[in-house]
Amino acid sequence: MIPVHSGTFPKIGDCVERVEESGLFEVVDVNLLMETANLKATDGECHVTRYVPWSSLKIQGAASRQTPFLVTGPRSR
């Protein structure tokens, strides 16, 4: 079965806020299977917070990105 997600999702380079923490973060990596993102603070720190669930993110400008996407696995021959 192919997993399907029909909501807003982060992309690398997006600026997001976390529900639990104040401040802005940049998305540096996205895991489509686990629906998590790795975030870097925009205040100049090099620390990366890993495996943050998409449900805890507020994506800046998310209203324009309410398009569904499809996650597919490797192609078989």
pLDDT tens per residue across span 13-68: 999 999 888 889 999 999 999 999 999 998 887 889 999 999 999 988 654 444 43
pLDDT at 48: 92
**Nearby residues of 22 by Cβ (< 8 Å), 6 or more positions away:** none
Q: How far is CA 2 from CA 5, 41, 71, in A?
A: 10, 33, 7
CB 39 within 8 A of CB 27: yes
- The CATH-assigned architecture of domain 14-58 is Roll (2.30)
pLDDT at 75: 52
Which tokens hold the place of 60? 């800046």
Indicate if the pLDDT at residue 73 is higher than 60: no
pLDDT at 74: 54
